[in-house]
Chain A
Amino acid sequence: MLGFLVKRFFSMALVLLVVSVTIFIVMHLLPGDPAAIMLGPEATNEDVAALKAEMGLDKPVLIQFTEWTGRIIQGDLGKSIFFQNRPVPDVIADHLEATVLLTLLSLGMATLVGITTGVLAASAHESLFDRSFMFFTSMAVAVPNFWLGLMLVLGFAIMVPILPAAGYSPLSDGFWSCLSYLVLPSITLAAGAVALIARMTRACMLDVLQNEYIRTAKAKGVRQSLVIFKHALRNAIIPVVTVIGMSFANLMGGAVVTESIFNIPGVGRLLIKSVFTRDYPVIEGVVLYIAIAWTLINLLVDIIYTIIDPRLEY
């Protein structure tokens, strides 16, 4: 296991290096200029050139790259151009709370509802419940989350105004206030993941329930619930954990559309805003953060496999 972990950390470092170099090159090849955006659309070319020189953005890309690499090696991600010249890790940290809470809430919802309904549908295979389940999960996968989000706002913030239409209240302002702002976005975000997890659970469960050891257990008179949850689910869960892990990593990178619809100041919106304003240091920082989240969560999923199935070895 230790050897596996060491190997994974090395490959992780390589992934991060490739990601950061790629994003630096891509961003600097893209047209767009933070100085022009800062000065506004009615500025002249001369004004833009002067501010660009002042900000050090007129240096050749190779020199900028060398300087940037030197900083990255020392762990310095630089300062944001637009967010009051603040260090990039601070800017990302400001947006993490909303993203982490939104991720945990929607993933918790998706996992709980997805696994439960998936197991129930597999246990009642071909029944009315199972068919309805297939219909609704297909719908949930197909419905675009921007539409679902807007419908939820229309229903629960405008027609029956019981929840806020948009915005975010930090945890420090109170748990219930924070929760009230996250309910609609979490449902929006969870809908697709619920369907995915539920369908995967159902398929895996159906596969496992065909096995002889399940039949044997049933023949021995083991209780149905015990057969389902102890014997079948544990063996069916590994692909489901993979799906949950991928959803988790995806969400940690910021749910761009949902954060935009509900005006949540999370990492996804930060990335979009930074791309539009060409805030290079923040874009590079956020992409690195997403890469780290992905690799760490994948590592975590691999470790969880060994806990669920002790036969697995690395």
Chain B
Amino acid sequence: MSTKMKMIFMAIMAFLLMASPLTAAGTPVTGGVLKIAIDSDPPTLDIHSTRATLAVFVGGNMYEGLYAFTTKGEIKPMLASDMPLVSNDKLTYTIPLRQDITFHNGKSMTSADVAASLNRWGKIASYGKQLFAHIDSVTAKDEHTVVIQLKEKWGTLMSSLAMLLGGPVIYPQEICAKYPAKPSSEYIGTGPYMFEEWRPNDHITLKRFEGYSPLDTESNGYTGRKTAYLDKLVFYGISEEPVRVNGVEGGEYDFADFVPSDEYDRLKDVKKIKTYISPPRAWFVFVLNTKFGPTKNKKIRQAMLATMDVKGTMAAGYGDQIFWRVDPSLALKEQVWHSTAGEAAYNQNNIEKAKALLKEAGYKGEKIVWMSGPLEYNLCVAAKANMVKAGLNIDLQSMEWATLLSRRKNPELWSAFSSGFTAKADPSLTTAMNLKYGAGWDHPEAKALFKSFCNESDFKTRHEILSKFQELVYSEVPYIKVGDYKNLRISNHRVQGFANDLYLYFFNVWKEK
């Protein structure tokens, strides 16, 4: 290379260096708007009133509870200043509150707000109602201390206080008084972002809350330091998958969730796009009716379980194996609660055994009405093939969610329906242990195990109880676990600091200039 050419080359390089962004990757930048495409609008932003995950995707940036979970499921204080002081009889929990907390409306948080929020949650939230059956009272002891008085020992109290999905987030007392039973339409919390606008059927905008007091501990899941680097978060509810993908590829949105997994091979090679495979967040299940119709017969339910080829079903229904896994546990492998109890009955793919069980059951080809929503339909088709081979008369009916939710209220109309159970930090909070779900599961042993699991506070004993419960699920078959599944998420390459966690949240996220 001639000297002249070298000079030109160096000049070009110098220019390029000067023109490149001054911020190195990894150094947070404040400012900017993050446009996030999620698969639908949340039904409400009142977390007490819904168990819909979408409400947490948005609300998790705005609301906080007394405690929160780390990514591994440990419980840490959030609005509480410390872990509770527990009386010797384990019936009284005294919770000290942080004194530096301001609500988005500028008011300081006191124990009156906390007591009002917990009491409202106990009245209207489904988890709240379950927990408050064991709570005597929640009272404000002084301005910054709350006391929870239990009727009996209840091991899941702390997990319940720490959960966010349908959990006891703290609102100002006035909001609780104004909306005692109906979902609130005023969204005031204590989180790093605050509500700005909800344009129905278009977008929800949150803006940075300047009065936020972050904790001085390391950020981990919903616990620790939360920083609102972005000026605004804008959530777009877009049900069409291609629109979410095209939107990020075209630069209209910065982030998209629930991207079809079959797009992964293409998108991972697109330069401007980052792909994220979420941790397993839920598992598919086929819920069976233990009260009415052919599936009331345990042998028939066991026959359905025996036909299950989980690998084939998941591959047919959910695509590439990097997005799912075969696992018998009612808790995820990543959780301390994981158990292999009863695994011999999982993933049997044994048609002959199923035929024998049907014979024992005296099955005469009665129709098994199986309802499926759109997401699980392919799974059901794959699973049905083996069931039909065993001689089961399956009437698989595909319907939109609203219809399925409505029809499943009447257990005489169906024998099975497909669903997904989301993972929770404490198994007692999962639908897998909810004995009232679907047609309900009236089994004395299941009831007793659930009660002792909730009463117990020693981890080892609780784990043993959970394993027994899992074994019972595999022998009684109130539902059939299929496989754990993950999501594909994508973002613009400028998005930094995103914690690819179970739920979406955008504090500590920034956008490079």
Residues of A within 8 A of B (CB): 30-33, 36-48, 50-51, 54-55, 80, 82-86, 91, 94-95, 150, 153-154, 157-158, 161, 164-168, 260-263, 265, 269-270, 273, 276-278
- Which A residues touch B126, using CB under 8 A? 39, 43-44, 47
B41 close to A (CB within 8 Å): yes
Contact B199 A31 (CB under 8 A): no
- Which A residues touch B348, using CB under 8 A? none
Q: Complex Cα distance A278/B403, Å?
A: 10
Q: Complex Cα distance A166/B37, Å?
A: 11
B292 close to A (CB within 8 Å): no
Q: How far is the CB of B424 from chain A (nearest CB, A)?
A: 10
Q: How far is the CB of B267 from chain A (nearest CB, A)?
A: 12
B interface size (C-beta, 8 A): 52
Task: Take A43-B126, A83-B200 as given contacts and tell me if A54 and B407 are in contact as well, using a CB distance cutoff of 8 Å.
Answer: no
Residues of B within 8 A of A (CB): 41, 43-44, 49-53, 55, 124, 126, 129, 166, 181-183, 185, 198-202, 236, 238-240, 242-243, 246-247, 249-253, 373, 400-403, 405-407, 409, 419-422, 431, 434, 436-437
Q: Complex Cα distance A82/B250, Å?
A: 30
The number of inter-chain residue pairs (CB within 8 angstroms) is 153
Q: Complex Cα distance A91/B185, Å?
A: 15
- Which B residues touch A84, using CB under 8 A? 185, 198, 200
Contact A32 B250 (CB under 8 A): no
Partner of A83, one of B55, B166, B181, B201: B201
Most buried by B among A37, A45, A161, A278: A45
Contact A167 B43 (CB under 8 A): no
Contact A37 B250 (CB under 8 A): no
Contact B406 A31 (CB under 8 A): yes
**Minimum CB distance partner of A94 in chain B:** B200
Contact B246 A273 (CB under 8 A): no
Contact B236 A37 (CB under 8 A): no
Contact B249 A165 (CB under 8 A): yes
Q: Complex Cα distance A83/B201, Å?
A: 8
Contact A161 B402 (CB under 8 A): no
Q: How far is the CB of A268 from chain B (nearest CB, A)?
A: 10
Q: How far is the CB of B365 from chain A (nearest CB, A)?
A: 27
Contact B51 A39 (CB under 8 A): yes
Contact B405 A36 (CB under 8 A): yes
- Which B residues touch A37, using CB under 8 A? 43, 401-402, 405
**Minimum CB distance partner of B166 in chain A:** A40
**Minimum CB distance partner of B409 in chain A:** A45
- Which B residues touch A36, using CB under 8 A? 402, 405-406, 409
- Which B residues touch A39, using CB under 8 A? 43, 49-52, 126
